[in-house]
Amino acid sequence: MKKSVSGLVVMRGLDRLHELGVDTDSILARSGIGQEQIGKNGRIPAKNFYSYMLNAKDFLSLKDSSFFDNSLQMLYTDYPDLIGMCLNNKTALDALMMYVKYRKVIGDCDEVSLSNNGEYIRVEYKNEGPIELGASNAVFNFDFIRKILLVHTSANITTHVSLTDKKNVFSKVIEAGLETRCIWEENKNYMEFNLKDLTECSPNYNPNLFKLQFGKFKKDFGDFLSKGSLFSSHVYDMIDFHFSERKGLEENNLLNKICNAMGVSRWTLNRKLQEENISYRELLNKVKMNVSLKMLRESSLSIQEISELLGFSSQTAFYRFFKGKMNESPSEFKHRIRC
């Protein structure tokens, strides 16, 4: 199953954009998102969500503290089953593990992982989308997680936050919202807590209620959660997003960019793809084929321009590639499909 985000995430953003007087129809069109994908039952594919974030980021940046003021309330309103279980849990640590395990209900485009050295527990957030998005999604998730944990403990939770973004005019807003001084320009986005702060029993935990909550959650979301998300599907989405955005980049540099975004080496990427019986080259060619078909059908680009955008060394190389797959040249296909 390809990675995706709940339509409610985009709906919330569109509400805010509408308040700001932004043309939301234009943003949705540029992002390839249909109205039917927005709302409680919709899911937005990763590539379209990242496109939406890029189109909206100048309007939805963390310029003030309003987001931090009622973020947990909004999250509970949109995802009462998941957040209700997180708020009614035995310890803060159990709540944290539940959020990370089941956050796919909200979205799984990016990766959240936990590690623990016996003294601190670290929550690491890997942005697997365009580098231009920076640490914004990490900040949103860190805020949610911190507020969930505070419900469970009387301790003054010690929080350490490191972010990949450079310090800027909005940094003070983020630090005030997270109630800690952040370390900026790090190579990872992560938040650390003192483990002992998270292990005391929650005074409001209701085990009977939790049993009912968890049963309903599994009934409503069991089928969705049981569907796997293949590593190769995610690599495909990242390649597809790059070409769909029409960003010219030499193939070797594209591979490096994808590895960096996913936090893996070339060797690891190729090994994981081999485990799924596919290669990076096969995924790349599949994307190039699908994007070329779409561009020939829908765009006004010349065949030479399409060839260059897809990274072919020459128009002849593109012709040879296309004809090998379709048994006709790009010009023949374009003429046939538009007649």
The predicted pLDDT at position 186 comes to 94
pLDDT of residue 252 exceeding 80: no
pLDDT of residue 266 exceeding 60: yes
Q: Residues 6 or more apart from 179 whose CB is under 8 A from it?
A: 146, 159
The predicted pLDDT at position 69 comes to 81
The predicted pLDDT at position 192 comes to 95
The predicted pLDDT at position 89 comes to 93
* CATH 1.10.10.60 domain position(s) in the chain: 231-338
Top-confidence residue, 76 or 275: 76
Encode the chain in three state secondary structure.
CCCEEEHHHHHHHHHHHHHCCCCHHHHHHHHCCCHHHCCCCCEEEHHHHHHHHHHHHHHHCCCCCHHHHCHHHHHHHHCHHHHHHHHCCCEHHHHHHHHHHHHHHCECCCEEEEEECCCEEEEEEECCCCHHHCCHHHHHHHHHHHHHHHHHCCCCCCEEEECCCCCCCCHHHHHHHHCCCEECCCCCEEEEEEHHHHCCECCCCCHHHHHHHHHHHHHHHHHHHHCCCCHHHHHHHHHHHHHHCCCCCCHHHHHHHHHHHHCCCHHHHHHHHHHCCCCHHHHHHHHHHHHHHHHHHHCCCCHHHHHHHCCCCCHHHHHHHHHHHHCCCHHHHHHHHHC
Top-confidence residue, 222 or 199: 199
Compute the distance between CA of residue 121 and CA of residue 116 in angstroms, rounded to an integer. 4
Answer whether 7's CB lies under 8 Å from 37's CB: yes
Q: Residues 6 or more apart from 338 whose CB is under 8 A from it?
A: 297
The predicted pLDDT at position 50 comes to 93
Give the model's confidence band at 316: pLDDT under 50 very low, under 70 low, under 90 confident, else very high: very high
The predicted pLDDT at position 103 comes to 92
**Average pLDDT of 276-305?**
86
Top-confidence residue, 297 or 339: 297
Give the model's confidence band at 53: pLDDT under 50 very low, under 70 low, under 90 confident, else very high: very high
In the chain, what percentage of residues exceed pLDDT 90? Answer: 37
pLDDT of residue 85 exceeding 70: yes
- The CATH code for residues 231-338 is 1.10.10.60
Give the model's confidence band at 64: pLDDT under 50 very low, under 70 low, under 90 confident, else very high: low
Instruction: Quick: pLDDT tens for 162-218.
Output: 999 999 888 999 999 999 999 999 999 999 999 888 888 888 899 999 999 999 998
